Chains A and B, each alone.
Chain A
Amino acid sequence: EAGVTQSPTHLIKTRGQQATLRCSPISGHTSVYWYQQALGLGLQFLLWYDEGEERNRGNFPPRFSGRQFPNYSSELNVNALELEDSALYLCASSLGSQRGETQYFGPGTRLLVL
């Protein structure tokens, strides 16, 4: 069974540009989560999508947005990029989340903003 996949693996942008990151969950998983992991730091929750709807978002500005498609894959968009957006962006999927389900992570997209 294939795990969570993410693309691209690396992304280089300049300040002010937009970035689009993609995630495909494990087959059968309906929930997709996005996290930001800045260098040497922990994982900060960004967004949660389930069954095509945004269920929750973390303490990030509105320029961080996304969506989930009918096949449960997801896209994270970051507008008006700032230098501090440089980080590893991790996607995770689970079977849905009524009470806390196990989340499985993808390999991440490393975003560098110059």
Chain B
Amino acid sequence: GENVEQHPSTLSVQEGDSAVIKCTYSDSASNYFPWYKQELGKRPQLIIDIRSNVGEKKDQRIAVTLNKTAKHFSLHITETQPEDSAVYFCAVWIQGAQKLVFGQGTRLTINP
């Protein structure tokens, strides 16, 4: 299947706290999982990605974890800052369908 479910749809956290966004997928052959950040009126920007042969990847305050057995992966943002406020999209490369399928997006708001 080509389903990618993303939760929550909105998330509000206090500055300095952590934020976690989760995505689940259905195609067990999926092998590439990027996360994009889209600020208002701007293009989606890749912030981190992970491939199926890796369980976790970290880049400063951002990390992604992948559980292939359970078919879910999560974005973790620590020590959140106001500039982290944006819409975040997960995506899954569906190998059989040869396309990138996006989640519905999470609107993250960081409260000062």
Binding site for B on A (CB under 8 A): 33, 41-45, 48, 55-56, 58, 90, 97, 99-108
Contact = CB atoms under 8 A, between A and B. Distances in A.
Interface residues of B, number: 23
Contacts of A99: 31-32, 93, 95
Contact of B43 (A44, A101, A107): A107
Contacts, number: 51
Given A42-B89, A45-B99, A100 B43 contact: no
Contacts of A41: 104-105
Contact of B31 (A58, A100, A106, A107): A100
A105 B43 contact: yes
Main secondary structure of the interface of A (DSSP, over half): loop
A45 B93 CA distance: 12
Contact of B105 (A42, A90, A97, A106): A42
B44 A105 contact: yes
